[in-house]
Structure 1
Amino acid sequence: MDLQLKGRRILITGASSGIGLATARMLAAEGARLALCARDEDRLRAAITDLAEMTDVVTASCDVTDRASVNAFVDDAVGRLGGLDGMVCNAGRSLMRTLDETTDDEIRDEFDLKIFGALNVIRAGRKALADSDSASIVIVNAILSRQPELRLAVTAAARAGLLNLSRSLAGDLAPEGIRVNSVLLGLVDTGQWHRRYQESGSEHDFDTWSADIARDRGIALGRFGTADELAFPVTTLLSPLNSYMTGATLDVGGGVHRYV
């Protein structure tokens, strides 16, 4: 199927690894032109060397919580690509702590990253997106936003705020022809989980270790997801073929959600 993304100009934050990188690769294969950022631009460039041979790619080091840094990146991307048709707000992390273990500064940092990490980028790209004939924003969030866990108390609260904000943005931006949708992920096999595996000192290999966690968390499919499995719904939401979908959420968590 042709997703009609050839030549479309898409911006992705947190693009040096995981879901951001997988989405960039999928979009490049569809012929999209890309603006990619991460905190470490050298790492980003090393990760996407093959993409530069496939399509136009703009890269930058960017702190998504710093509005000036975001504005500079987005302005450069719009100038070099000649506009903007879509964006993927993907920068994020999880803070594996109970509420009692989390400092006030860490709480502020989590809300800053989750809320302003998306809002800064959307504000900076809003005018360019409004000039597109099929503008789409995809916010990568988590099922955690709808069913909190004590081990991720602050992250869950921040992600719930982001989900609520996403729905408000969908209403605010619809008159400008900009769609806003969310993809809610469950447990995904990314660098964060591999670091936790190394820190665990487990005698099992990663697949066995992660399968045990999947069972403990009640994931129906019994395993973690992959970055590509998340990148596909993100990519399809950017497609003009999804032109009547806004304010929606897609759960991609292997059946881990417990709410109706």
Structure 2
Amino acid sequence: MSARLDGKVAVITGGAQGIGLAIARRFVDEGARVVLGDLNTAALEAAVAELGGGDVALGVQCDVTSSSDVDGLIDTAVVAFGSLDVMVNNAGITRDATMRKMTEEEFDLVIDVHLKGAWNGTRAAAAIMREQGSGAIINMSSISGKVGFIGQTNYSAAKAGIVGLTKAAAKELAHLGVRVNAIAPGLIRTAMTEAMPERIWESKMAEIPMGRAGEPSEIASVALFLATPESSYLTGCVLEVTGGRHI
């Protein structure tokens, strides 16, 4: 059985660590070549080396809030590897605080990185994919965008916005052969989530019917499904990967 992404080229923002890197690993394992965008150059270098170096992986320093940076990231993929078949808009940050304490700058930054970043990536990828008549765009939302969490008015708003962006873009691009879907992870075991205070972690665990946190590799498996023809009749969907939390 051949690898499911043989000959395909994927761009992944926030690809140097966490869920983004897990997706990159899975894609490379399935035969893809990947271009990772990230602000952390040291992490980019380490990720590219881990994935097998320049024949299969490249790293580009990229601020997803900058459309020119995102254009450059995608241009790198097309020039180096010849196409763009999968775009994963995964880059994200948190600046958690209650509304009373959250600054306007903290609100704007989270909206810009998540929502504007996903729009920049979707728009730039669509410009290439529509000419090819094919492609899969995968946007990273969150269960926070469905239910809203205390201390995350910025993050919940951004992740809900990504759902709307995904659905609208899916309608615009469907007739061109380009699919746009989103993943909404729940509690996933990453460096970011493991930095939570123990009491917060335990309270979130108590909400999960499956009784455990998810692993980044489990999000990568869903991203792989959305990237391949196995999901050929899916567009505008939000797949909740939460262990049953908030269903």
Tell me which interval the TM-score lies in, with the shorter structure as reference length.
over 0.9
**Counterparts in 2 of 1:72-91, with a 5 A limit?**
72-91=72-91
Q: Which runs of 5+ in 2 are unaligned?
A: none
Higher deviation after alignment, 3-12 or 140-149: 3-12
In the other structure, the counterpart of 2:112 is 112
The whole-number CA distance in structure 2 between the counterparts of 1:174 and 1:75 is: 23
Evaluate the alpha carbon distance shift between residue 87 and residue 20 of structure 1 in structure 2; reply closer, same or farther with a 3 A threshold: same
Counterpart CA distance in 2 for 1:65 and 1:248 is 24
Q: Residue 205 of structure 2 corresponds to which residue in structure 1?
A: 215
How far the C-alpha of 1:58 sits from its partner, in A, is 2.1
Q: TM-score, normalised by structure 1?
A: 0.88
2:227 aligned with 1:243, yes or no?
no
Q: Distance in 2 between matches of 1:213 and 1:54?
A: 43
Decide which of 194, 201, 226 is 2:215's aligned counterpart. Answer: 226
**Residue 210 (structure 1) shift:** 7.6
Instruction: Return the index of the structure with the highest Cα Rg.
Output: 1
What is the one-letter code of the residue matched to 2:98?
T
Q: Please report how far the alpha carbon of residue 215 of structure 1 lies from its aligned counterpart in structure 2 after TM superposition.
A: 3.5
Aligned partner letter, 2:218: E
CA deviation string 1:88-114 (max 9, x = no partner):
100012332111121111111121112
Matched with 2:66 is 66
Whole-angstrom CA distance in 2 between matches of 1:55 and 1:236? 24
Structure 1 equivalent of residue 122 of structure 2: 122
2:143 equivalent in structure 1: 143
Q: Deviations over 1:180-212 (max 9, x none)?
A: 00110001111112333xxx4x6xxxxxx6862
What is the CA-CA distance between 1:72 and the residue it aligns to?
1.5
* Distance in 2 (alpha carbons) for counterparts of 1:70 and 1:121: 6
Give, in whole Å, the separation in 1 of the partners of 2:3 and 2:130: 21
Specify the SS of the correspondent of 2:117.
helix
Which residue type is aligned with residue 41 of structure 2?
A: E
Q: Which moved more, 1:152-161 or 1:48-57?
A: 48-57
Is 2:74–2:84's contact at 8 Å kept on the other side of the alignment?
no
> Normalization by structure 2: what TM-score?
0.93
* In 1, Cα distance between equivalents of 2:244 and 2:107: 29
Change (3 A) 1:4 1:31: same
Amino acid at match of 1:215: M
In 2: Cα distance, 1:118 partner to 1:77 partner: 17
Q: Which residue number in structure 2 is paired with residue 97 of structure 1?
A: 97
Structure 2 residue aligned with 1:39: 39
* Preserved CA contact (<8 Å) 2:48 2:59: no
Contact 1:141–1:184, Cα closer than 8 Å, also in 2: yes
What is the rounded CA distance, in whole Å, between the counterparts of 1:186 and 1:86 in structure 2? 23
% same residue? 33
Task: Kindly indicate whether the alpha-carbon contact (under 8 Å) linking 2:3 and 2:31 is maintained by their aligned counterparts in 1.
Answer: no
- RMSD value over aligned CA atoms? 1.9
**8 Å Cα contact 1:146/1:160 also seen in 2:** yes
Number of equivalenced pairs: 247
Contact 1:31 1:55 in 2 (8 A): no
Q: Unpaired runs of 5+ in structure 1? A: 203-208
Distance in 1, matches of 2:194 and 2:214, equals 13
1:229 Cα shift?
0.8
How far the C-alpha of 1:53 sits from its partner, in A, is 5.3
In the alignment, which residue of structure 1 is the partner of 2:195? Answer: 195
